[in-house]
Amino acid sequence: MSATKRVNIFSLSLVRGIVFQILGTLVGIGVVTLIRLLMGLPAWKAEPAGVFGAFLGVLFFLVGAGTIRDWYKMALGEPVSDHHAADPEQPGWAKYFNISYDHKVIGIQYGVTSVVVMLLAGSFALIFRAELARAGLQLIELDMFNTLVGLHGIVMIASILLGVGAMSNYLVPLLIGASDMAFPRLNAFAYWVNVPGALLVVSSLFLGGFDTGWTGYPPLSARAPLGMQMFFLGVYFIGLSSILGSLNLIVTVIRMRAPGMSYFRMPIFVWAAVATSIIGLTATQLIGLSFQMVMFQRLFGMGFFDPAKGGNVILFQHLFWFYSHPAVYVFILPGLGIISELLPVFVRKPLFGYKWIAMSSLGIALVGFFVWAHHMFTAGMEEYLRVPFMYSTLLVAVPTGVKFFSWVGTMWRGRMSFETPMLFTLGAVSIFLLGGLTGPPNATVATDLHLQDSYWIVGHFHATMFGGFVFPWFAAIYYWFPKFTGKMYNEKLGKLHFWLMFPAFYLMSLGQMRVGLLGMRRRIADYDPALGFDNTQTLVTIAGYVIAFSVLLFLFNLVRSIRSGEVAVANPWNSRSPEFQLPSPIPEHNYAEHPFVVVGEPYDYGLADAEYVRFGAASEPAAAD
């Protein structure tokens, strides 16, 4: 710290990328305008110019940031360096703003982006929840409300996908004993494509917004302002990231496990990450396709979903939900994996029914492909389809039940302690239970005729998202924080974060369900005071603000701990997992200097002398298949 290193900000990939994106957008707009001029058309037309500009902007970003530089060199036959060490000329933080091939740096990049994006999406919700605190319109215009509701949804989804990317990228190579992901350049590319994508989605706010919600149903989305197209394009690129990241993860798990690590000896989170990646790799194309079709309907008059041109509005919903339902499992499976991963450590007992939990993740992923039309029970698809989809949907409860019972079995007769990560894990179990149990009434068609599109649904899926992602995500951050930073977080602040967020969440979610049953519709800026739930709405808003405050506490805790927290010991939780046997923070090439072989079961807590990994015994780090 003697000499402060100065950084030319234009040397940072992030800055160069954004500058290039602006440039690319202008070039795209210019090209379309020029072509129109040459064709003798009125030169300026916002929609084609804007869309092509936005598209070119993303490509320019990727080039400008340097994500494809190595591939280009490879194509030319020039040598490329495999090392991903940070530039010693720059301060330590600069590597997070640059292209790095280190999966741990990429994991942190994903994680920090996820939190930043989550703050943004949360702020949108705080604005419209303030509006909803009382009946009547007080704060914002109707169109702004509709745009904020849609943005809250899609930006949160982006945040969750980034969070999932953070967990799988940072943790999976460490958990399986690999020195990095299978395709480090693809890994960096998959992260960086999110940045221009997210910028596009947010730019929609300034381009007329979009009044369709995150689902973007046509015909409404076919006539929404230009912001709609930015939303479609942004989601398209974020989806591309999901596909590439999933591919990379599956290959990594198949090819790069430590010697002796058979599939049933992998830490359980890896199973969840694989199940998630199978969905991400195979289903994401459908949301990209459905959005692309609306984009083309608007740009080129292809009447896919336009009744006047023989299109069908229901078709969009099938394509959209064919991804967007399994996507829910992309969001929750990693979180459920975190619960299964952390419980044994804090209970000091083996994970109850390891193979059943592993298989239930795959089971949920598989059944998840056959249930999409339950989002459409009142949408007007063929009536006879409703019954088979009711049966398939209810089947999801079976593998999910296996997880709950196995978690209870893990807790039973253990020796529990309640540090912050464990509090968030237990909170996650109880909230995911609330989300799970409020699912079947939506699945049985008759009751869903009342519940569909009501605030009950809002309460239900916020419970699944908080239980399946948000709480496990915080648990994971606190749990691995010493490994990220070499410092300990502040335990008191961590517990305070939990004890604010947990009751506030119950209040919010139950309040949402209550008003929904009484007749509150989704996505309305104003409601009929005659329905008599003003006070419940006020409570829901207050609870939302408490949650927001607790998240600020969380950030304060992290920032303060990074700057002046206690230095962490290597294994603060007395975990058996290999990454906790490494020093904190983790060396750059993970196990390169510390190879290990797997000699036992991962969760043999409470068994004297049981070993999981043995260090220093491997002759060479090789794939385990």
Partner 1 sequence: MKHFILVAILVAILTVAVGTGLSAIGLMPEQASLQSVFIDQLFQKHVWTISFLFALIIGFMLYSIVVFRRKEDEQGDHFEGNTPLEIVWTIIPLITVLYFAYLGSQALAEVRRADPNATNITAVGQQWSWRFEYTDYGFISDELRLPVNRQSLIMTTSTDVIHSFWVPEFRVKQDALPGDGMERELRITPTKVGRYKVRCAELCGTQHAYMLADVIVMEPEAFDQWVQEQMQGPSGTPVERGAEWYQQFGCAACHSIDGTPRVGPSWKGLFGEEVTLADGSTVIADEAYLFESIRDPQAKIVQGFETVLMPPTGQSMTDEQVQDVIEFIKSLSEQESD
Residues 36-95, interacting with partner 1 (CB under 8 A): none
Residue 596 pairs with which residues in a beta bridge?
A: 615
Q: Judged by CB under 8 A, which stretch of 17-25, 216-224, 492-500, 557-565 contacts partner 1? A: 216-224
Alpha-carbon distance of 408 to 419, in angstroms, equals 19
> Cβ distance 176 to 258 under 8 Å?
yes
CA atoms within 13 A on the CB side of 590: 24
Q: Judged by CB under 8 A, which stretch of 81-89, 109-117, 410-418, 581-589 contacts partner 1? A: 410-418
Greatest Cα pair distance in the chain: 83
564, burial (CB in 10 Å: exposed 0-12, middle 13-18, buried 19+): exposed
Measured CA to CA in angstroms, residue 476 lies from 469, 481, 525, 597 at distances of 10, 8, 35, 25
Q: In the set 521, 566, 593, 617, which binds partner 1 (CB under 8 A)?
A: 521
The verdict on 127 binding partner 1 (CB under 8 A) reads: no
Determine the Cα angle at 569 with ends 567 and 575, to 5°: 140
The least distance separating partner 1 from the CB of residue 134, rounded to whole angstroms, comes to: 14
For residue 397, report the phi and psi dihedrals to the nearest 5 degrees.
Answer: -65, -25
The verdict on 262 binding partner 1 (CB under 8 A) reads: no
Alpha-carbon distance of 372 to 387, in angstroms, equals 13
Alpha-carbon distance of 51 to 203, in angstroms, equals 12
Smaller CB distance to partner 1: residue 62 or 261? 261
The least distance separating partner 1 from the CB of residue 301, rounded to whole angstroms, comes to: 15
CA atoms within 13 A on the CB side of 265: 20
Residues 274-313, interacting with partner 1 (CB under 8 A): 307, 312-313
The verdict on 606 binding partner 1 (CB under 8 A) reads: yes
Measured CA to CA in angstroms, residue 191 lies from 81, 219, 243, 391 at distances of 20, 33, 11, 38
Q: Judged by CB under 8 A, which stretch of 172-180, 489-497, 511-519, 554-562 contacts partner 1? A: 511-519
Q: In the set 546, 604, 614, 618, which binds partner 1 (CB under 8 A)?
A: 604
Q: Judged by CB under 8 A, which stretch of 54-62, 189-197, 378-386, 556-564 contacts partner 1? A: 378-386
CB under 8 Å to 245, separation ≥6 — which residues?
Answer: 165, 168, 169, 187, 190, 191, 277, 280
Smaller CB distance to partner 1: residue 250 or 394? 394
Residues 338-357, interacting with partner 1 (CB under 8 A): 347-356
The verdict on 413 binding partner 1 (CB under 8 A) reads: yes
Smaller CB distance to partner 1: residue 486 or 606? 606
The verdict on 523 binding partner 1 (CB under 8 A) reads: yes
Smaller CB distance to partner 1: residue 90 or 444? 444
Q: In the set 47, 526, 534, 588, which binds partner 1 (CB under 8 A)?
A: 526
The least distance separating partner 1 from the CB of residue 193, rounded to whole angstroms, comes to: 29
The least distance separating partner 1 from the CB of residue 64, rounded to whole angstroms, comes to: 33
Alpha-carbon distance of 340 to 404, in angstroms, equals 10
Any long-range contacts for 550-553 (C-beta under 8 Å, 24+ apart)? 550/496, 550/497, 550/498, 550/500, 550/501, 550/504, 551/118, 551/119, 551/122, 551/497, 551/501, 553/493, 553/496, 553/497, 553/500
Q: Judged by CB under 8 A, which stretch of 195-203, 439-447, 478-486, 493-501 contacts partner 1? A: 439-447
The verdict on 208 binding partner 1 (CB under 8 A) reads: yes
The verdict on 474 binding partner 1 (CB under 8 A) reads: no
The least distance separating partner 1 from the CB of residue 25, rounded to whole angstroms, comes to: 22
The least distance separating partner 1 from the CB of residue 530, rounded to whole angstroms, comes to: 8
Q: Judged by CB under 8 A, which stretch of 28-36, 154-162, 380-388, 547-555 contacts partner 1? A: 380-388
The verdict on 385 binding partner 1 (CB under 8 A) reads: no
The helix or strand, by DSSP H or E, that contains position 445, with its residue range, turns out to be helix 445-451
How far the first Cα of the chain sits from its last, in Å, is 46
Measured CA to CA in angstroms, residue 217 lies from 150, 307, 318, 319, 539 at distances of 11, 14, 11, 11, 31
Q: In the set 285, 292, 378, 571, which binds partner 1 (CB under 8 A)?
A: 378
Q: In the set 11, 292, 430, 581, which binds partner 1 (CB under 8 A)?
A: 430
Alpha-carbon distance of 67 to 279, in angstroms, equals 25
Residues 528-557, interacting with partner 1 (CB under 8 A): 528, 531
Q: Judged by CB under 8 A, which stretch of 66-74, 399-407, 548-556, 617-625 contacts partner 1? A: 399-407
Smaller CB distance to partner 1: residue 83 or 413? 413
Smaller CB distance to partner 1: residue 219 or 585? 219
